[in-house]
Amino acid sequence: MALLFLAPHFRSWWRTYELHGGIDSALLRQMLHLCRFTGHMRILGLSLAMICSLTGIRILGAAIPSGVLAALISVALVPLLRLTLPPAVLFLAGSGERANTLFFRLHLSAGPLRVVALLDPRRMGPFGQMLRLDLMRTSTESTWKSMVHRLIDIAPVFVVDTVHRTGPVRYEAFLMLAPERAARTVFICDDEGKCPSLLAEGIDPSEHAIPVTRAADMAEAVLRLLRVWGSRPKDEVAQPRSGVRVITEDWDTLPSVLMIALVDGLDGGFLLTQARNTDKGLIALLVPLSSLDDDAAKASIELSWDFSRNPRLVGLYLQSTGLAMVRREFLLQNAESLDVHVPAVRPGTMSFEDLNKPEPIGAAVHELCVRWRNAAERRGLEFRFARK
């Protein structure tokens, strides 16, 4: 009976092993590390304590029937097996009744593979407590973005419900638009076929060839992606997993930045000299007509933490704000891209035709960011454009 009770969990591990192309010790350590930030360590501790206690009782020769002892150990093993199981699907959505329904449906359709989410367990109702082990919501708000990045490194398939325009949902949807993730993501639209969280970022899926799925077709789309991922050659299935740990968002973890205002023009040689002579981690370029108001400054600080969470992120370009941030080491490795010199426009010498042209320094920075993005993609890195 104990083996029958554990059989579904063994099946989950075997299917996950096939999907991930193997499960190494580093991945297991990472899953245990993530439990520290979700309140699951207490459950793990109780599970291990129960297993050790029952084993000790058996060694001491207590008069407990073997069948009863095996059943109790199997019950104690369940949390350990579930919490260390790498997820196959990461579900990102705003907490609420709609998200609860979609989460339950994903569990039914993707089983026996594990589906995890960061939903609030207090808003899940009594049935949500049955899935408590698959809720990876962090105990503090200052670590949830870092948790999202770590789960993105692990899960091969993502599901994003785009019907809400809240900040967290917009951020998560924005992360999934990276080229290496978009093809593995199911974007769920509303009943009208629109994606409010993407539209809030200035992105219309129909204009960018981003496929969207209605809630009724979600299960079929997820199963299709899982089949595609599982049928890939083993050497391609294994994912590069980041070793960066979950971090707390505070001033100590915010990357150091050298801010350069391009008032007199864009001189690549000057930028290269400044990058070589600074110990800052990021180089930020501010164009003349940038609009770094309070909201834009807050957005730039929020997004700059991504450089600490995601080691593959080498640059960030806020298109509406006119702010570009790039890792110093990446800039130095691509010094040839700084072969550029664009003088500033003098207001007294501008003609009517000049007024109808893009501001030259801003246009040059945009072109420079395009070069950096292409160089990053060739090396399997990420240079992100954001409509901020």
Supply the pTM of this predicted model.
0.79
Select from 283, 272, 276, 366 the least CA-distant residue to 317.
Answer: 366
Cα 61 off chain centre by: 50
Half-sphere exposure of 171 (CA within 13 A, CB side): 17
Select from 30, 216, 16, 180 the least CA-distant residue to 110.
Answer: 16
Place of tokens 């193997």: 22
Beta strands in 50-206 (DSSP E): 89-92, 115-117, 157-161, 185-188
CA gyration radius, the chain: 25
Residues with Cβ within 8 Å of residue 62, at least 6 apart in sequence = none
Q: What is the strand order of the sheet 115-117 is part of?
A: 115-117, 89-92, 157-161, 185-188, 212-213
pLDDT digits (tens, 9 = 90+) for 194-217: 898 888 877 888 877 788 999 999
Rounded Cα–Cα distance for residues 241 and 43 (Å): 26
Q: What is the pLDDT tens value at each position of the chain, 388 positions in all?
A: 666 778 888 999 999 999 988 888 888 988 998 998 888 888 888 888 888 887 777 677 666 666 666 777 788 888 899 999 999 999 999 888 899 999 999 999 998 999 999 998 888 877 666 788 999 998 777 788 889 988 998 999 999 999 988 878 888 888 888 877 888 999 999 988 889 888 887 788 887 778 899 999 999 999 999 999 888 776 555 554 555 567 777 777 788 999 998 888 889 999 999 999 999 999 999 888 666 666 666 667 777 778 877 888 999 998 777 889 999 999 999 999 999 888 876 665 656 555 556 678 888 999 999 999 999 999 989 898 877 6
> Which token pair is 43?
């459950």
Distance linking the first and last C-alpha atoms of the chain:
57
Rounded Cα–Cα distance for residues 329 and 334 (Å): 9
Place of tokens 């000299």: 273
**Which residues are bridge partners to 325 per DSSP?**
284, 316
| Segment (H or E) for 55 | helix 41-59
